[in-house]
């Protein structure tokens, strides 16, 4: 009983700083001490409600989510597949790794204009650039994850008569999974950075577009609604990934 | 956060767990083939006239253009601007991030005040507030550096925080046993002991700095490699566009290798934790 | 007056709301230059006792006096050799020994001389430029010992220092420590789970009870000094061993029955 009380109290204390920040923000806004481009939380929430009820926000949200999920999923799957393959097969390693290390240092956003020239300014170029950006961290982590497989595990599996497919599914994959998830987490963060910048650079829908539209029309209320939505999106997706990771890695000692 | 397996063990693991182990010569030949095949196909396609040079300039043409821009120094001007912005933002983030992370790791009050804040706002893409930064600081260097700082400071704070907390408490005890005070402990125990974690943070932050410098230069600038790329693409100068990409790639390559080199020099007592980005 | 006085010492840990009493009513007095070894079932509070004497952990009751004064935190008068070495991985063997000497603010040359002298004493001077990860367990242990000796504490607190060494190295280290102790005349509190080691090194062997740890019996070891390792083969030595073994056996059995208490034992 006493313990639970302690935990709640601690949680309250640790979130107090966040809450305090919002209250301070609102207070300063109420006093009129903020510059005109910094609106108060109350105004943002009101505008948020308005854009939710009018459905305007959902259209942009959907455009953004389609692009980011498509790019993230395709890039991650490709990265996991080729990364694991390179980790277990010398041939694949020789084929892919030189290419990867040659192109890895290029920030993928730099290729966006090329993709726009090739595929037009629509969704394809945005999805592709996100795909590329997500591919690299996932590939590299899957590769190292597969390489970390303990030789003794493979030997004992062979000893018990496991087939290569079984070894892959029951030894390589579980060994590499924690590492793959670290790659996915980086990829997820990158996917959102690329998404919003691609939308700010050239788009006619999506949250990034909404920001640059609002900026151009000096509609700070709309701009903040977009920012808050992006913040919620980034946070929620990260939590989702952490949750999936915990479900997938129940055997791994839970780390903070 | 375990360090990588010893090289010997890794080699053997590879021999046991892999299919298709062959002679080294073959392997080396295969390593070169994929790169050569791609570059070769590119060059052949570019020269064949099947696609417009606007879509795909020849590699020779790109290199020629790069040489020309290097000759009139404009390439170095763009590189210089980009490197300056990325480096200043990144270095500021490193210094500030290490200090905040240390305070959070060692002092309960700082942890209570800041840990949740950083944990909650970490996954938020900071690029979304770039327009606000532009309103505050204008379109020049400051808003770009501020954004790079904001995005880079997170991995530095979080990694230093965990690194500081992960310091073996016996090292603190041993140091106090020999009469060390808090300042000595920070300088001579915490910093070296947390250094591997701090470096992991740097390894994540550095590429992010490069991504953001390109993005911000694409959104609003009149110099830098991001500007070179977006401007050339808008004016259909595809050679220049590829020069820009090549330029940022080379910068990224050099930075990454500098980091690897520095880590090996500075943290020789521990193997690198496998990197994430 | 004894150099070290422990009166009615009590230590309780709070774990999940319920207190775990590690030490209870422990009384001990150790004279200057004495070598006291401590044995007891694992988890009985041996490490905890040394951590309190070192000033790293607070006591929950009673008092600990060094030279007549209550201890308040760690101090250079009591040097602790940790079971896990606690060497700084980013410093060489010499660098580690130098660490504590440097803090005195002596001139560099002088500090270096001191550090090298102690490395010499533990026989590691030829390896002074190696880093901890390049040293074997026995070598690390010697560095840890040299590091503590170098800042010249009056009391040495040693927590199963040879626990992780192989049998041969362990015997070598015992002889070495014996020699160093005879040479320097330090006061030593030495925790071990090896009865033979306890007898060979100690003037007195304290046998602790199962948790909560308190003193079950103090066995005076009246073997002649200076001792060499041959003493282990002689009749009185074997008698001591059997006696202490019986005492310990009772306590170990007791702690086995006390199942919830077996729980986690800190290294
Ligand atoms: N920091 C701690 N928190 C809670 N319990 C502890 C702590 N340190 C030690 N204990 C408990 O105190 C008892 C004595 O531990 P210790 O002194 O390490 O035993 P040992 O005699 O094996 O060295 C053990 O039961 C252990 O679980
Ligand atoms: Mg112990």
Which stretches of chain A are assigned E, i.e. beta strand?
none
Q: What are phi and psi of A39, to 5 degrees?
A: -80, 160
Residue C92 has pLDDT above 60, yes or no: yes
Instruction: Report the pLDDT value the prediction gives residue B174, as an integer from 0 to 100.
Output: 92
Q: What are phi and psi of C26, to 5 degrees?
A: -100, 125
Average pLDDT of chain A, as a whole number:
86
Average pLDDT of chain C, as a whole number:
88
- Copy the structure tokens of residue A5: 């009380």
CA distance B73 to chain C (A): 44
- All residues of chain A having their beta carbon less than 8 Å from the beta carbon of residue C17 are 2-3
Instruction: Report the pLDDT value the prediction gives residue C62, as an integer from 0 to 100.
Output: 93
Chain B contact for C95 (CB, 8 A cutoff)? no
- What percent of chain C shows pLDDT beyond 90? 51
Ligand 1 atom showing the smallest separation from residue C48 Cα = 17
Q: Which of B197, B117, B140 is nearest to B164 (CA)?
A: B197
Dihedral sign of CA atoms C193, C196, C197, C200 in order: positive
DSSP secondary structure code for residue B190 in this structure: I
Instruction: Report the pLDDT value the prediction gives residue B139, as an integer from 0 to 100.
Output: 86
Q: Ligand 1: residues within 6 Å at CB?
A: C 13, 15, 20, 22, 40, 42-48, 211, 263-266
Instruction: Report the pLDDT value the prediction gives residue B55, as an integer from 0 to 100.
Output: 84
Q: For C226-251, what is the mean pLDDT?
A: 88
Q: For C216-239, what is the mean pLDDT?
A: 87
State the Cα–Cα distance between residues B64 and B71, nearest whole angstrom. Answer: 10
- Copy the structure tokens of residue C91: 């410093």
Residue A107 has pLDDT above 50, yes or no: yes
ipTM exceeding 0.90, yes/no: no
Chain A contact for C105 (CB, 8 A cutoff)? no
Residue A220 has pLDDT above 90, yes or no: no
Mind listing the pLDDT tens digit of every residue in chain B (277 residues)? 333 333 334 444 444 444 444 455 666 777 788 888 888 988 898 888 888 888 889 888 899 999 999 999 999 999 999 999 999 999 999 999 999 999 999 888 888 888 888 888 888 889 888 988 988 898 889 999 999 999 999 999 999 999 999 888 899 999 999 989 888 888 899 889 999 889 989 988 999 999 999 999 998 888 999 999 999 988 888 889 999 999 999 999 999 889 888 888 888 777 655 444 4
Lowest mean pLDDT among B101-105, C19-23, C61-65, C73-77: C73-77
Cβ atoms of residues A116 and A202 within 8 Å: yes
Residue A94 has pLDDT above 90, yes or no: no
Region for residue C180 given its phi and psi (left: phi exceeds 0; alpha: psi -120 to 50; beta: otherwise):
alpha
Residue C64 has pLDDT above 60, yes or no: yes
Instruction: Report the pLDDT value the prediction gives residue B18, as an integer from 0 to 100.
Output: 46
- A256 band by pLDDT with thresholds 50, 70 and 90: very low
Q: For C192-213, what is the mean pLDDT?
A: 92
CATH assignment of B59-266? 1.10.3720.10
Instruction: Report the pLDDT value the prediction gives residue B87, as an integer from 0 to 100.
Output: 96
Instruction: Report the pLDDT value the prediction gives residue B33, as an integer from 0 to 100.
Output: 84
Instruction: Report the pLDDT value the prediction gives residue B276, as an integer from 0 to 100.
Output: 47
Q: Which of C75, C86, C104 sits opposite B174 (nearest CB)?
A: C86
Instruction: Report the pLDDT value the prediction gives residue C266, as an integer from 0 to 100.
Output: 39
Q: Does the pTM exceed 0.80?
A: no
pLDDT digits over C111-158, tens only?
A: 999 999 999 988 899 999 999 888 988 899 889 999 998 988 999 999
- Residue written as tokens 């026995």? C138
Q: What are phi and psi of C116, to 5 degrees?
A: -65, -35
pLDDT digits over A72-90, tens only?
A: 999 999 999 999 999 888 8
Q: For C68-97, what is the mean pLDDT?
A: 89
Residue A32 has pLDDT above 90, yes or no: no
Structural domain spans, chain B = 1-51, 59-266
Residue C202 has pLDDT above 50, yes or no: yes
CA of B170 to the centre of ligand 2 (A): 13
- What percent of chain A shows pLDDT beyond 90? 29
Instruction: Report the pLDDT value the prediction gives residue B273, as an integer from 0 to 100.
Output: 52
Cβ atoms of residues B218 and B230 within 8 Å: yes
Q: What is the dihedral of CA A242, A248, A250, A251, to 10 degrees?
A: -120
- What percent of chain A shows pLDDT beyond 70? 93
Q: For A123-135, what is the mean pLDDT?
A: 94
Q: For A164-193, what is the mean pLDDT?
A: 88
- All residues of chain B having their beta carbon less than 8 Å from the beta carbon of residue A91 are 19-20, 30
Q: Indicate which residue's Cα is closest to atom 12 of ligand 1.
A: C22
pLDDT digits over A164-175, tens only?
A: 888 888 788 888
Residues near ion ligand 2 (Cβ under 5 Å): C 47
State the Cα–Cα distance between residues C129 and C132, nearest whole angstrom. Answer: 10
Instruction: Report the pLDDT value the prediction gives residue C221, as an integer from 0 to 100.
Output: 92
Q: Indicate which residue's Cα is closest to atom 2 of ligand 1.
A: C13
Instruction: Report the pLDDT value the prediction gives residue A4, as an integer from 0 to 100.
Output: 54
Strand order in the sheet with C187-191: C78-81, C155-159, C187-191, C35-39, C204-208, C215-220
- All residues of chain B having their beta carbon less than 8 Å from the beta carbon of residue C56 are 173, 176-177
């Amino acid at each position: 009983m006493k313990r639970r009380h302690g935990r709640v109290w601690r949680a309250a204390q640790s979130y107090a700083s966040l809450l305090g920040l919002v209250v301070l923000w609102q207070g300063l806004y109420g006093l009129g001490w903020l510059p005109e481009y910094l609106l108060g939380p109350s105004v943002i929430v009101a505008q948020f409600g308005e854009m939710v009820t009018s459905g305007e926000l959902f259209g942009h949200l959907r455009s953004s989510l389609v692009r980011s999920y498509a790019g993230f999923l395709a890039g991650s799957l490709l990265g996991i597949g080729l990364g694991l393959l390179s980790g277990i097969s010398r041939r694949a390693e020789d084929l892919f790794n030189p290419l990867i290390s040659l192109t890895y240092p290029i920030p993928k956003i730099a290729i966006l204009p090329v993709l726009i020239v090739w595929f037009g300014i629509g969704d394809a170029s945005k999805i592709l650039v996100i795909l590329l950006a997500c591919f690299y961290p996932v590939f590299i982590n899957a590769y190292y994850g597969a390489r970390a497989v303990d030789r003794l595990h493979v030997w004992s599996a062979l000893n018990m008569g496991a087939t290569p497919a079984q070894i892959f599914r029951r030894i390589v994959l579980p060994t590499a999974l924690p590492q793959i998830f670290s790659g996915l987490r980086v990829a997820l963060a990158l996917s959102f950075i690329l998404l919003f910048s691609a939308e700010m650079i050239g788009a006619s829908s999506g949250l990034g577009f909404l920001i640059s539209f609002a900026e151009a029309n000096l509609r700070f209320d709309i701009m903040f609604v977009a920012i808050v939505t992006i913040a919620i999106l980034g946070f929620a997706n990260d939590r989702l990934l952490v949750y999936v990771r915990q479900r997938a890695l129940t055997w791994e000692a839970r780390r903070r | 956060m375990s360090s990588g397996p010893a090289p010997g063990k890794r080699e053997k693991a590879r021999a046991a767990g892999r299919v298709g182990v062959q002679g080294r010569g073959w392997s080396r030949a295969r390593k070169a083939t994929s790169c050569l095949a791609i570059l070769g196909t590119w060059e052949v396609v570019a020269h064949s006239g099947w696609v417009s040079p606007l879509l795909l300039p020849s590699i020779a043409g790109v290199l020629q253009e790069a040489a020309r821009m290097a000759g009139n120094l404009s390439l170095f001007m763009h590189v210089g601007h980009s490197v300056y912005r990325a480096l200043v933002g990144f270095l500021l983030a490193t210094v500030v991030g290490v200090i905040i992370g240390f305070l959070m790791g060692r002092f309960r009050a700082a942890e209570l005040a800041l840990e949740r804040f950083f944990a909650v706002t970490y996954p938020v893409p900071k690029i979304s507030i770039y327009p606000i930064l532009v309103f505050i600081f204008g379109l020049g260097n400051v808003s770009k550096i501020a954004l790079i700082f904001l995005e880079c400071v997170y991995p530095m704070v979080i990694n230093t925080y965990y690194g500081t907390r992960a310091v073996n408490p016996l090292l603190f005890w041993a140091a106090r046993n020999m009469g060390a005070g808090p300042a000595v402990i920070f300088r001579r125990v915490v910093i070296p002991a947390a250094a591997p974690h701090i470096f992991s943070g740097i390894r994540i932050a550095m590429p992010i700095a490069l991504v953001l410098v390109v993005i911000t230069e694409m959104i609003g600038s009149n110099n830098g490699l991001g500007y070179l790329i977006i401007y050339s693409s808008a004016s259909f100068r595809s050679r220049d566009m590829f020069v820009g990409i090549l330029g940022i790639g080379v910068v990224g390559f050099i930075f990454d290798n500098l980091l690897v080199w520095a880590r090996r020099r500075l943290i020789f007592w521990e193997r690198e934790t496998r990197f994430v980005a | 007056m004894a150099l070290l006085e422990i009166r009615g010492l009590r230590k309780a840990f709070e774990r999940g709301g319920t207190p775990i009493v590690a030490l209870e009513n422990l009384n001990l007095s150790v004279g200057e230059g004495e070598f006291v070894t401590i044995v007891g079932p694992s988890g009985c509070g041996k490490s905890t006792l040394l951590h309190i004497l070192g000033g790293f952990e607070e006591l929950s009751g009673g008092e600990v006096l060094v030279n007549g004064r209550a201890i308040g935190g760690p101090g250079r008068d009591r040097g602790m050799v940790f079971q896990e070495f606690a060497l700084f991985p980013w410093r060489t063997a010499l660098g580690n020994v130098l660490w504590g000497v440097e803090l005195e603010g002596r001139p560099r040359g002088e500090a270096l001389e001191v550090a090298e002298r102690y490395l010499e004493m533990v026989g590691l001077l030829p390896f002074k430029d190696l880093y901890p990860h390049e040293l074997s367990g026995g070598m690390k242990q010697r560095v840890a010992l040299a590091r503590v000796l170098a800042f010249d504490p009056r009391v040495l607190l040693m927590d199963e220092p040879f626990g992780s060494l192989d049998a041969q190295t362990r015997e070598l280290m015992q002889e070495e420590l014996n020699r160093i102790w005879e040479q320097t005349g330090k006061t030593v509190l030495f925790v071990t789970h090896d009865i033979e080691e306890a007898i060979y090194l100690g003037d007195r062997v304290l046998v602790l009870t199962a948790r909560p740890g308190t003193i079950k019996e103090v066995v005076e070891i009246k073997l002649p000094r200076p001792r060499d390792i041959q003493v282990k083969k002689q009749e009185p030595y074997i008698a001591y061993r059997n006696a202490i073994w019986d005492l310990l056996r009772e306590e170990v059995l007791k702690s086995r029955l006390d199942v919830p208490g077996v729980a986690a034992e800190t290294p």
